[in-house]
Amino acid sequence: MSVPLLDLTLQYSQLKDESDAVWFDVMEHAAYIGGPRVAALEKEVADYVGTEYCVACANGTDALFLILEALGVTRGDEVITTPWTFFATIECITHMGATPVMVDIDPKTYNMDPVALEAAITPKTKAIIPVHIYGQCCDMDAINAIAQKHDLVVIEDACQAMGATYKGKKAGALSRAAAFSFFPTKNLGCGGDGGCLTTDDKELADRCRLIANHGMPEKYIHTDFGTNSRLDALQAGLLSARLTKLDEWNQQRADAAAHYDEELAGVGDLVTPYVDPDGTHIYHLYILKTDKAVQLQEFLGSKSIGSALYYPLSLHEQKCFDLLDGYVKPDLPVAEECANATIAIPCYPGITRAQQDEVIAAVKEFFAADK
């Protein structure tokens, strides 16, 4: 039996009638972009996350960009984040002309290490972007306390963490503003590209909305220079339906994760995910750490079991930084050690016990042969 890393067809089959109705309704009314479906989704997401405002946009990368632009992050500023993330986190900083400062991660959670954060603050530091990697929140109390002490703004990259909680609050409600992605593979994904940002700050929300629509408060009146970053009505309709299932789906991921934890702890040199008692993990990715991750991936592939390395190379070691004037590669031993050592195995809503047991058997077989 083959087991994919992720099976997205279940999200459609479970909501087929609702999804089809959205499609036909959008086509019939030819109201493709923005409109009441998008406004409704914004309200639903804000209510779900627990913020006053949500602004939909074209993707998670843009959500980060809109926030930085609205906050006035610019050339000469430094923005602190980690290299253990998807590239977009860094890219949005360089697009502002600002300098990304990458600090090391906590070896247990793979999230930003607050001690490393504080050590990296300089007079040029303007903002901090903690990334809730794999679906588990960063140590936000520590990060927010440091930010407050140094008068810095915190922006969550919550693209992998819709529904994750920290001390009873949801990811996206733990800082000045947060970015989410609705890319199909995310826990709340749509049928294409999509994203949003959440905040309690009305002025910031309004400004992001303005920038996302060509700096145009009224048709053909431009008070600012912006961009085109909008969400389709079709995507909004799909997302509204899927949001009603999100907690159930995240619970199914957590249940699957618990089964892996039980079966795989102590196998070979595997390290199963650490869950911070301050929050809940939504397992956007179920990550095993092992020195043999590359070989394990190859072995699983030979058994038609999907897996992937998140990430094969830490971002601070990427070639693109040669293009940044004055970039000095930081020494980030934890992130460097995680490169090619953290592997995701199939963990998604609807995965069956039989499929999981197939994965578990294959992993055990690999380590038994490896002895």
Pick 160 or 198: Cβ nearer ligand PLP: 160
Number of residues that bind ligand PLP (CB under 6 A): 15
CB of 268 to ligand PLP, least distance (A): 28
- What's the rounded Cα separation, in Å, for the pair 177 and 308? 30
Pick 59 or 280: Cβ nearer ligand PLP: 59
CB of 257 to ligand PLP, least distance (A): 18
Pick 48 or 311: Cβ nearer ligand PLP: 311
- Return the residues of window 190-209 that contact ligand PLP according to CB under 6 A: 193, 195
Between the two ends of the chain, the Cα-to-Cα distance in Å is: 26
Q: Is 109 in the site for ligand PLP (CB under 6 A)?
A: no
Pick 268 or 279: Cβ nearer ligand PLP: 279
CB of 191 to ligand PLP, least distance (A): 13
Q: Is 183 in the site for ligand PLP (CB under 6 A)?
A: yes
CB of 366 to ligand PLP, least distance (A): 27
Q: Is 131 in the site for ligand PLP (CB under 6 A)?
A: yes
Structure tokens at 259: 């089964």
Q: What is the 3-state secondary structure (H, E, C) of 8-32?
A: CHHHHHCCHHHHHHHHHHHHHHCCC
**Nearest position to ligand PLP, beta carbon:** 60
Q: Convert residues 141-180 into a mask of x (bound to ligand PLP by CB under 6 A) and - (unbound).
A: ----------------x-xx--------------------
| 160: nearest Cα among 190, 139, 181 | 181
Burial degree of 271 (CB within 10 A; 0-12, 13-18, 19+): middle
Residue of 55, 60, 342, 356 interacting with ligand PLP (CB under 6 A):
60
Element (H, E) at 287: strand 286-289
Cis peptide preceding 283, ω within 30 of 0: no
Burial degree of 357 (CB within 10 A; 0-12, 13-18, 19+): middle
CB of 275 to ligand PLP, least distance (A): 19
Q: Convert residues 67-86 into a mask of x (bound to ligand PLP by CB under 6 A) and - (unbound).
A: ------------------xx
- What's the rounded Cα separation, in Å, for the pair 300 and 305? 5
Cβ count within 10 A of residue 266: 8
Using the rule CB under 6 A, give the single segment among 54-62, 162-170, 201-209, 241-249 that binds ligand PLP: 54-62
- What's the rounded Cα separation, in Å, for the pair 324 and 97? 10
CB of 229 to ligand PLP, least distance (A): 10
CB of 92 to ligand PLP, least distance (A): 8
**106: Cα within 13 Å, side-chain hemisphere:** 22
CB of 295 to ligand PLP, least distance (A): 26
Using the rule CB under 6 A, give the single segment among 53-61, 333-341, 343-351, 358-366 that binds ligand PLP: 53-61
- Return the residues of window 282-311 that contact ligand PLP according to CB under 6 A: none
- What's the rounded Cα separation, in Å, for the pair 119 and 116? 5
Element (H, E) at 181: strand 177-181
Residue of 59, 144, 213, 252 interacting with ligand PLP (CB under 6 A):
59
| 15: nearest Cα among 252, 242, 250 | 242
CB of 269 to ligand PLP, least distance (A): 27
- What's the rounded Cα separation, in Å, for the pair 307 and 187? 17
The contact set with ligand PLP (CB under 6 A) reads 59-61, 85-86, 88-89, 131, 157, 159-160, 181, 183, 193, 195
